[in-house]
Amino acid sequence: MPAGIIAAEIDGYRRLKAEERARAGQRVALLALCGVDLDVAAGLRGEARAALCRRLEIKIERERLKGAARPWNYDLNRHIALKQALDALRGAP
């Protein structure tokens, strides 16, 4: 195999693994903080999805305020994962 093809496959694999890690972080944050599985949440429609999005917005705002206060238990990764989960819900049909 030519080196260019192998390098492209390696890059593709690394991107896939990075996306999987990000998705896992979203799943854990959403399940731990909201008690909702991301796959179940993606299947919601209408008012149920809007209510979950509002709930996530409130959680994100609480995390933002917690981050501003700088307590020992603030986790930037949790904040990012919640935001990514909200973006995924808004972007999904």
- Quick one: residue 36, left, alpha or beta (phi over 0 = left, psi -120 to 50 = alpha)? beta
Residues 6+ apart with CB under 8 A from 42: 88, 89, 92
56 contacts 86 by C-beta, under 8 angstroms: yes
* Nearest 10 degrees: Cα torsion 46, 51, 53, 55: -170
* Domains held by the chain: number: 1
Domain, as residue range, for 48: 3-91
55 contacts 34 by C-beta, under 8 angstroms: yes
81 contacts 25 by C-beta, under 8 angstroms: yes
pLDDT tens string, the chain, 93 residues long: the values are 688 899 999 999 999 999 898 888 778 878 887 888 888 888 889 999 999 999 999 999 999 999 899 888 888 888 888 888 899 888 854
Question: Whole-angstrom Cα distance, residue 92 to residue 89?
Answer: 5
pTM over 0.85: no
